Structure 1
């Protein structure tokens, strides 16, 4: 029992996890008018767009199911941010 308790204690020790160590925490708010031609692809399920003038290297927005939209930073979190480290939409 003591051996099991020691094993559990060692396995459950807190470790510092660095998630996205190269991305700074930038907060922003942006309204998107889906009536504008620029955002037309977001009116369809699976549609996506890159909005380059917000975030670090832009924000990718994706229409998941017609009523849910997902958005995430377009900078690769595994590399130091540079102009060429932006993600792009393909397909």
Structure 2
């Protein structure tokens, strides 16, 4: 199990029950280490209410382009993206950079 903070910013909160921040314990059967890829699937399974909203968050099994993903205020690309192993207290932020007009 890992205890993390997940943030949905830039309007993404509308797909996760209109809550911007979650403090969650993520536990997956049979896994000692939980990585960001596991967390993304956990978000899809537990926080996104409507199946159609998954496409707002994911594209081709990864975070949709236009969503800035940070792990402890560092771009996830520098941290190994989905392979980054989460630790207690990590903050994972998803910020939409796309805005309607």
Normalized against structure 2, the TM-score is what? 0.28
Q: Quick check: which has more Rg, 1 or 2?
A: 1
More strand by share: 2
* TM-score where L is the length of structure 1: 0.29
Q: Which is bigger in relative contact order (C-alpha 8 A, separation at least 6)?
A: 2
